[in-house]
Chain A
């Protein structure tokens, strides 16, 4: 299947710092990518839809100034958690769908804010 690469896998940061997570589609172009958040033993929660060349669409309740999304190319979307706080600690996952409309996920990023 198609490959979506997500980096880093783990990140630990101090409260108040910003963290950037990258999501790349390695063997296909993705005009749209999705960012999710997942708490332990819970399902995926869609945070935002990242659109290449335009602004991201955020789900209700997700702070766009807190979670900055940039989709500068057809193969790369980034999520920046700004001024991170302990409550932002979570598992973040990105996904992208191929032209055949199959949705593939990155390996996820575990963020721990101290």
Chain B
């Protein structure tokens, strides 16, 4: 079993839709959870960062962490064509020696 699993997609939605992106993990030592957005041939951009269970909102983005189920989600409201990218979940334990990434979900928002 991989440490972090993520549906690779591709996921295609119409503009304005709510997008739900998800990751599951197996290591209960993970305490820090992140979501990154990566455009083609660019470095990943940090979107959300959290270290506790529950929801964290930033504009159109909401990150949700459920440590008991080892499940994290990223919700995008009112999706825009500019949101079309690959979304990577990432997580780390408290040592932060290594950050583990999911394989990424490719998202296309159709105008």
Whether A43 and B103, one on each chain, are in contact in the complex, defined by CB atoms closer than 8 angstroms, is: yes
When distances are taken between beta carbons in the complex, the residues of chain A under 8 Å from B92 are 101
Q: Within A21-42, which residues are at the interface with B (CB < 8 Å)?
A: 34, 41-42
Instruction: Report B55-90 CB contacts with A as 1/0, cut-off 8 Å.
Output: 000000000000000000000000000000000101
When distances are taken between beta carbons in the complex, the residues of chain B under 8 Å from A6 are 43
CA distance A44 to B104 in the complex (A): 9
**Dominant SS among interface residues on chain A:** strand
Of the four ranges (under 10, 10 to 19, 20 to 34, 35 or more), the interface on chain B belongs to 20 to 34
Whether B42 and A108, one on each chain, are in contact in the complex, defined by CB atoms closer than 8 angstroms, is: yes
Q: Considering only CB atoms, which chain B residue lies closest to A44 in the complex?
A: B101
When distances are taken between beta carbons in the complex, the residues of chain A under 8 Å from B96 are 97, 101
Of the four ranges (under 10, 10 to 19, 20 to 34, 35 or more), the interface on chain A belongs to 20 to 34
Distance (Å) between the CB of B29 and the closest chain A CB? 15
When distances are taken between beta carbons in the complex, the residues of chain A under 8 Å from B104 are 43
Residue B18 lies at the interface, judged by CB distance under 8 Å to chain A: no
Q: Considering only CB atoms, which chain B residue lies closest to A109 in the complex?
A: B43
Distance (Å) between the CB of B99 and the closest chain A CB? 6
CA distance A97 to B90 in the complex (A): 13
Whether A102 and B103, one on each chain, are in contact in the complex, defined by CB atoms closer than 8 angstroms, is: no
Distance (Å) between the CB of A42 and the closest chain B CB? 7
Indicate whether A93 sits within 8 Å of B98 (C-beta atoms), given known contacts A101-B32, A103-B90. no
- State the B residues within 8 Å of A (CB): 32, 34, 36, 41-46, 49, 88, 90, 92, 96-99, 101-104, 106
Identify 29 residue pairs between A and B in the complex whose beta-carbon atoms are under 8 Å apart, listed by A's number: A1-B46, A41-B106, A42-B103, A43-B88, A43-B102, A43-B103, A43-B104, A44-B44, A46-B98, A49-B98, A91-B41, A93-B43, A97-B96, A101-B32, A102-B34, A102-B49, A103-B34, A103-B99, A104-B46, A105-B36, A105-B43, A105-B44, A105-B45, A105-B46, A106-B43, A107-B42, A107-B43, A108-B43, A110-B41
9 extra interchain contacts, Cβ-Cβ under 8 A, other than A107-B42, A108-B42? Answer: A1-B46, A4-B43, A6-B43, A41-B106, A46-B98, A101-B96, A103-B90, A104-B46, A106-B43
